[in-house]
Amino acid sequence: MKKIIKLSIVIITIANTTAIAQQDPMYSQYVFNGLIINPAYAGSHNVLSTTLLYRNQWVNIPGAPKTGAFSIDAPVKNQKVGLGLNVEFDKIGVTNYSGINGAYSYKIKFSKGALNFGVQAGVGFYNSNFTSVKYSDGGISDEAFQNNYHDLMPTFGFGMYYYTDRFYAGLSIPQIAGHAIQKALYSNSESAHLDLANHYFITSGYLFDLSPDMKFKPSVLLKYVGGAPIEIDLNSIVWFYDILALGVSYRSLASVDFLCQIRLSNRLYLGYAYEYATNSLKHFSSGSHEIMLQYVFDFSHGKIVTPRFF
């Protein structure tokens, strides 16, 4: 059974890199760090924020995705400009991806809020070790897996982000014109097996005061990529005393997530997410785990750093 599952994941990996699309890594705790899905988020708060995240997906399934990310962002030039950086790695089956993207945002202030326009650019590295695939107990490699592939791909993205003290809404396309770039670079090369697709994200949320010591933040994220159904995340998070956040998220066609973030000190946050599959994967996996560590540096030199509710 394990060999069948492993072979299935290899097939899925190959399908994603040849026929469908190279999917961007996805996380549960984007609700605490919007930069990983929208470059316009860079510099939206008066702090320099650094975040480390690791995700172990579909535990107990050989070859399942393992993903890590580091992000940092801060405002500059009187808060009108924001700068950010995302570094990611993603491993699934015999395929590895690593990438680095720099983000730039410009803020237009209004009486009750602000609108950020953001762009990002970087490079992604794709490596598929197909020669390591075995299809029989004899260890004989299939003819289809006689070559390894190594590709380098420039990446470009765009985003918009409007926010007030209570409300936010965003639109982002982290990967723009990926297919056109791939075609221009590798039209005469065997490396043209990648098919990078645009990913579209629309998000919105609102912060309610339940009491002086409790806040409630419902939010929604719509995701679309060509060739796949529209996916919706419905999130509900409750903050207690601005110290502890507990939440639940429903991801259509995929999972139910349980979220937790605790404020360990004035500047340090620890987050954890557990994802339980609601599709057929629940019969093979014990779930997915995600841990996040976030540290913020205050530019205002105040004694208390306001929690980042979004």
Question: 73-82, 141-150, 152-161, 227-236: which has the minimum mean pLDDT?
Answer: 141-150
pLDDT at position 63, please?
83
The confidence band for 143, taking pLDDT boundaries of 50, 70 and 90, is low
Average pLDDT over every residue of 256-276: 95
Three-state SS string over 44-105 comes to CCCEEEEEEEEEECCCCCCCCCEEEEEEEEEEECCCCEEEEEEEEEEEECCEEEEEEEEEEE
pLDDT at 174 over 60: yes
Residue 23: the pLDDT is 54
Mean of all residue pLDDT scores within the chain: 83
pLDDT level of residue 177 (50, 70, 90 thresholds) = low
* Strands 95-109, 114-128: pairing kind: antiparallel
For residues 136 and 37, give the distance between their C-alpha atoms in angstroms, rounded to a whole number: 40
Give the pairing type, strands 199-206 and 167-173.
antiparallel
What Rg do the C-alpha atoms of the chain give, in angstroms?
20
- Cα–Cα distance, 33 to 26 (Å, whole number): 12
- Mean pLDDT along residues 218-236: 91
pLDDT band at 53 (very low <50, low <70, confident <90, very high): very high
List pLDDT tens digits, range 153-162: 888 999 999 9
3-class DSSP state of 195 = coil
Predicted pLDDT of residue 233? 95
pLDDT exceeds 70 at position 193: no
| Structure tokens, 35 | 């930069």
Token look-up 């404020």 returns 263
To which residue do tokens 């580091």 refer? 70
Q: Residues with Cβ < 8 Å from 143, sequence gap 6 or more?
A: none
User: Which residues in 33-69 are b (16+ Cβ under 10 Å) and which e?
Assistant: bbbbbbbbbbbbbebbbbbebebebbeebebbbebbb
In tens, the pLDDT along 22-36 reads: 356 778 999 999 999
- Out of 35-39, 125-129, 301-305, the most confident range is 35-39
Q: What is the average pLDDT across 289-305? A: 78
3 — pLDDT class (breaks 50, 70, 90): very low
H/E segment holding residue 2: helix 2-18
